[in-house]
Structure 1
Amino acid sequence: MAPVPRQMHLVAYLKTGPTALDSGGWRHPEATLDDVLDPGRYEHIARVLEAACFDGCFFADLQGLYDIHKGGFDTYVERGGQISYLDPMVVMPVMARATRHLGLGATLSTTLLPAYHLARTLLSLDVLSKGRVAWNIVTSATDLEAKNFGLTALPPRDQRYEVADEVVEACLRLWKSWDPDAFIKDKKAGVYADPAKVHYADYEGRWVKTRGPLSIPQSAQGHPVLMQAGASERGKEFAARWAEVVFSSQRSREDTKAFYDDLKARVAARGRRPEDCAVLAQATCIVGETESIAREKADYINALTMEELRIASTSSNIGVDLSRYEDGQSLAELAGTQGMQGSMDVFESRRRSLGGSVKDTARSLRPNQYVGTAESVADQLEDLFVSQVCDGFIVTPAYAPGSHETFCRAVVPELQRRGVFRRAYSGTTLRDHLRG
């Protein structure tokens, strides 16, 4: 039997708000705003993505409002920054009911939330969705989140990852509280389940302790898929140990390829198969009927982002208030325990290539864009995939819901025609999609 050709993976980036990575997207004439708090918005996009056979989607999230820029949240609120207006864990069950195959991912912090709580909520939804949940594991990157949970500041980065390792270990132990064949359901004998097949977790690490057991049986895929986006050295080691999906946000082809090769080597060094960890690159796709129309659309979209919000967004990502930055200061020292190392690396790389000021660099940053006709956008994505620069893409919208709708309607059929993306689901769980 001939081997099955390698298939591209597609996961949609979502927010429970009108704005995603492209901070001016809510201003686009086709962006919908009045339905942000309506469950129908999320049911609709879930159905669109499932009809296009996406592996899944995930919600980026923050436990609060960004207030690093100018020491407050005014810019984010006034200018329409990337805000989560609803808890994704409440929205995802709505989407699960509207679909049968689409994977559903939530961003949840190991620094802020106890292992038992994480294990219980994630497995509950995984069971209800019949095995379609992913956990985007973060360690948190802002003190504002820490303060919302009763802490004065975030712990040091390395300590956060040590805690994260233990939280994941504890969750995996808890998720195996019930053997798959624990249920007997014998009405006549009066035996519902076999207690010998239910187990305490009895997990105790340096930072995390939980007894268990969970009162929840295993899901159709055993436990939620583990997803991660850390780009620091410690973050990559964490991903190599645990992640089944990694969100890569490098700016250049060369950097993306280097990240891909490095992470796959780390996965193998951990005794795992490299193909069991899908590395997905960020891609905002802007599609036009012709190349010139597509470029005009991109120029228009890029002009919608207000300069102050772009600087505020960069400040939030790197953990430094750039409105108060003075030449010669060390960004790393100013960030302290805050900010995402991957975002800081991207920022510094961009600053070196431009040779400009810190604020000029912040103004220039935007998500990776692939612009052109449906055919030429598919060309660009296929080239990166076939060249093993990535295993697929995290598709980020310029505006919602139109960006995802256009991608699914125009680009996906092109990828399917070329045989690099599925035409139908071959399994029922998210882990099936990732391994199929």
Structure 2
Amino acid sequence: MPYTSAMLRRGAAVAAVLGTLTGSPVAAPAALPAAVAAPSPTPSPSVSPDVRDLTPAVARRLDAVVRHVMREADVPGVTVGVWTPGRRDYVRSFGVADKATGRQMSPDLYMRIGSETKTFTVTAVLQLVDQGKVGLDDPIGRYLDGVPEGDRITLRDLAGMRSGLFNYSEDKGFFKALTSDPQRAFTPEELLAYSFHHPLVFRPGEKFSYCNTNLILLGLLVEKVSGQRLADYLDQHVLRPAGLHHTLFPAGNEFPSPHAQGYTNQTANGKVEETAGWNPSWGWAAGAMISTLDDLRTWAPTVATGVFPDGTAMVGSAVQKQRLTTPSTGIRGAGYGLGIFDVQGWIGHNGSLPGYESLTVYLPSTRTTVVVLLNTDISHKDGIEPSTLFGQAITQVISPAHVFDLPVPASATR
């Protein structure tokens, strides 16, 4: 299928269903679509009402559903991690990291994490709020010139996806520029220019609509107020204090080794291509970062609680409370706060950009973390992103009372 700008918009989106939401309620089914629904063995006994213990029997069920989704969605390789303090862990890799060489997928690989970048950028903004350097209800025009309706769009609107700004990744000119040269470097200002020649799509604060433009502005805000490059600020104030030694904000298309090869059909001719060498600068503060399974395991509770692993505050409790206030997106069971979502109790974010997808979520009631990393962003035939399929299948096994259920019809993403 030819690649379209609507698919590109999805490429750095929180989830396909959230990335295309226009405010209309959409009922999400409680089970996987019939095409990818795995067989249902006799349920294992549940240790708690929220999350099952990862007994050998439960681990075998997880193996089965992960392999089933891989086959149905044609995923080359995936790594899955599930952790609950005081219980057994589940860390498994399946399939290949590189189809050309047959190199196996493994838990130690660096992966591009797309829109999980947003959780880091918004954390930086919230730290500046804590320090009294900016206010969530300040207009962005107080700090940055040239933003349409900049005197009305607040930092809260930007972080909560309620600004009304046009999403630059839906612009036809941007689509042509990116697909004609995937290794091209884009500046933040160039990305904003694609957005700003369009009128606002609704009045600021009126409703939820996922938009990468918002995060480009917040990244520039961090640089303006802190006096540091965004990558340097994040390294000094977020990554190192959190102990995330294998998470980085690349300047271009650099990609530490070992990493997986990525596969996408988001190309000018719709053919599948390898993407490890593509330049993610087009996502910048909205989607350019790289991480690993172990680092994301640490990041999930850190971002969900606002507390660094050593017990010190990453974000003050009052600001963190505002972050986790997740107004409805119009999707049953799904809310979006300040750069973070809550789907059926799972708090976190996911990411997708050409060749890679990820999902990192945390269930506070049991302190359970789930991380999924895969090396394709090619949607299932029903139009559902594979990371969503994995999240749904895994949580149906481990937390049937909290199923990550965000399917989306194909027409919504194309």
Instruction: Give the TM-score band, short-chain normalised.
Output: under 0.3
Give me the TM-score of the superposition, normalised by structure 2. Answer: 0.25
Q: Which has the higher helix share?
A: 1
Higher relative contact order (CA 8 A, sep 6+): 2
